[in-house]
Amino acid sequence: MEIFFSRDFSGGECRLGSEESSHLVRVMRHKAGDEIFVTDGAGTLYKCVLEDPSPRSAVARVVEAVPDCGAHPYNLTMAVCPTKNIDRYEWFAQKATEIGIDCIVPVIGEHSERKVFKPERIERVILSALKQSLKTKIPVVEDAISVRDFVRREASSDALKLIAHCMEGQRTSVTDALSSYKGRDIIVMIGPEGDFSRDEISSAIECGFIPVHFGDSRLRVETAALVATTAVYLDFLSK
């Protein structure tokens, strides 16, 4: 099954933008009368019949709407410091979308080498991953925020809040932290290449974040973020 994307639904019809229309007609060779599937990016999958196979503005008639299609039973926010090489961050966003994630927050730490984050490219990567993995809800990509401001913002949250770091001290494994949690809202923070500072870790702990680790290996930022995303997915899969 191939999924297309549009936010233009009205009067029982769906209109695709120029890029999606071109892919639908010129690449996938769909013709009038073909059954196609379109997501609105908000969690609903629409079963449609193609009526106007225009490569610039295709129009399809909606036959059925399936809400919460491909949804997962948790709400995961990954607050991850952008990597110096932005391609590595985009790789994380792509794979995390395929697995299951709800929000990506680019957090800027004291040791961050990348201080500026532009979401435009990563949003295209996420949309492509969404369609490829047959999901229907686009993860939110927030504007960049400092680590300190983020932990203060989430201080009153009832979510399970985890901060992964490499410094010595009392930490629990991410799997143990997840296994004892009965809720569905989870926040995981991953630091930059130089890790969080001691002050940032202390501030996060004061705001209710639990220090966690991923075992003995020292992981790259994007690897640690993807391990955390996968751990959440597998934990809920087993419940």
The rounded percent of the chain whose pLDDT value lies above 90 is: 92
Pairing of strands 160-164, 140-141: unpaired
Average pLDDT over residues 158-185: 94
In the chain, the DSSP E strands lie at 3-5, 8-10, 13-15, 35-39, 45-52, 59-66, 75-80, 103-108, 140-141, 145-146, 160-164, 172-173, 185-190, 210-213
Full-prediction pTM beyond 0.85? yes
Is 87 found in the same domain as 56?
Answer: no
Is 95 found in the same domain as 22?
Answer: no
Is 173 found in the same domain as 93?
Answer: yes
The pLDDT, as a whole number, for residue 66 is: 96
The pLDDT, as a whole number, for residue 72 is: 94
Q: Which domain holds residue 33?
A: 3-66
The pLDDT, as a whole number, for residue 120 is: 87
Is 213 found in the same domain as 184?
Answer: yes
The string of DSSP letters for 65-86 reads: EETTTT--SSEEEEEEPPPSSH
pLDDT in tens, 116-163: 998 888 999 999 999 999 999 999 999 999 999 999 999 999 999 999
The pLDDT, as a whole number, for residue 239 is: 77
The pLDDT, as a whole number, for residue 119 is: 87
pLDDT in tens, 150-171: 999 999 999 999 999 998 888 9
Task: CATH number of the domain at 166, please.
Answer: 3.40.1280.10
Q: Which two tokens stand for residue 50?
A: 């193609």
Is 54 found in the same domain as 98?
Answer: no
**Residues facing 79 on adjacent strands:** 105, 189
Average pLDDT over residues 49-63: 97
Is 132 found in the same domain as 54?
Answer: no
| Domain total in the chain | 2
pLDDT band at 63 (very low <50, low <70, confident <90, very high): very high
Is 90 found in the same domain as 24?
Answer: no
